Copies of this chain bind each other. A is one copy, B any other.
Amino acid sequence: MSTIAFIGLGQMGAPMASNLLKQGHQLSVFDVNPLAVQALVDKGAKASATPSDAALDAEFVITMLPNGDLVRSVLFGDSGVCEGLSREALVIDMSTIHPLQTDTLIAGMRAKGFSMMDVPVGRTSDHAIAGTLLLLAGGTPQQVERATPVLMAMGNELIEAGGPGMGIRVKLINNYMSIALNALSAEATVLCEALGLSFDVALKVMSGTPAGKGHFTTSWPNKVLKGDLSPAFMIDLAHKDLGIALDVANLLHVPMPLGAASREVYNQARAAGRGREDWTAILEQVRASAGLNNQQC
């Protein structure tokens, strides 16, 4: 069992700390909210007056805070973690913050001789309570190996995301994709309603196609991800179908800003000479727009 400093006892942090206690770890906790601290003390934790105090003698320091400025302040501020931390300890930031700030924080800790990794979590506060969070571990293999017994007290699935900073990166990508997809799904569903089509029928059809299953595991693996851009379904035709959908949506008064933006991406792909390539070549088109070199295509 380990000696752990836990800083940040909010909606997620509190049950995570509780689960560490249940597994027999020794916890020193810190939060600006004394009620949150007391609740953990009642479960066996030790209250600390400052992050620095919490970090004294800790083998692990876990931070679970609302934003990156707070993590910075907790680590580097007055009476911050750095003032009490041993060079042998491992700092684990589990907050969801800006990835480039994570890089800065890890570099700052390294410059002072400290070891730090990022392990943001997936799923919800219910999973935090149940100890079944998804752990997205950004760290060296040694850091991950060392942290795993502690982390698995809070979650039931750990994905190694690569080196330090990669945990927060994969969380960002996942959230970007799911949040934007949510808005796109709403557009399709409202167009469905405006067309007088049963949503159940649409769902049945989409459940068998990339519309419902996504592209990553259906249309992409044997085409663009293999460098094969020969057309199974041409960009020209995809562009045409988008145009029909937008035309119908505009006739029926269904605003579709994501659809409108995507049509211009296909428009640009055609302008770049990709009209007769497979629709999955849109990945290469977006890569080119980002100034990445044209390897695949």
Given contacts A98-B244, A189-B283, whether A291 and B273 have CB atoms under 8 Å apart is yes
A195 & B169 in contact (Cβ 8 Å cutoff): yes
B175 & A297 in contact (Cβ 8 Å cutoff): no
Q: Is A159 part of the binding interface, using a Cβ–Cβ cutoff of 8 Å?
A: yes
| A-B pairs with lowest CB-CB distance, top 7 | A271-B291, A177-B211, A253-B271, A178-B211, A176-B245, A260-B260, A186-B286
Partner of A241, one of B175, B251, B270: B175
Partner of A187, one of B157, B249, B286: B286
Instruction: Tell me, in angstroms, the Cα distance from A247 to B267 when the chains sit together.
Output: 11
Choose the segment among A41-49, A87-95, A106-114, A198-206 that binds chain B (4+ C-beta atoms closer than 8 Å). Answer: A198-206
Q: For residue A72, which residues in chain B have a CB less than 8 angstroms away from its CB?
A: none
Instruction: Tell me, in angstroms, the Cα distance from A162 to B196 when the chains sit together.
Output: 10
Given contacts A254-B290, A291-B271, whether A244 and B201 have CB atoms under 8 Å apart is no
Instruction: Tell me, in angstroms, the Cα distance from A264 to B252 when the chains sit together.
Output: 12
B271 & A254 in contact (Cβ 8 Å cutoff): yes
Q: Is A292 part of the binding interface, using a Cβ–Cβ cutoff of 8 Å?
A: yes
A242 & B212 in contact (Cβ 8 Å cutoff): no
Q: For residue A243, which residues in chain B have a CB less than 8 angstroms away from its CB?
A: 247, 250
Q: How far is the CB of A233 from chain B (nearest CB, A)?
A: 7
Q: How far is the CB of A147 from chain B (nearest CB, A)?
A: 17
A residues sitting closer than 8 Å to B (CB atoms) are: 96, 98-100, 122, 124, 134, 136, 157, 159-162, 166, 169-199, 201-217, 219-220, 232-233, 238-239, 241-245, 247-268, 270-273, 279-280, 282-283, 285-287, 289-292, 297
Instruction: Tell me, in angstroms, the Cα distance from A96 to B243 when the chains sit together.
Output: 13
B255 & A267 in contact (Cβ 8 Å cutoff): yes
Partner of A242, one of B99, B176, B187, B210: B176
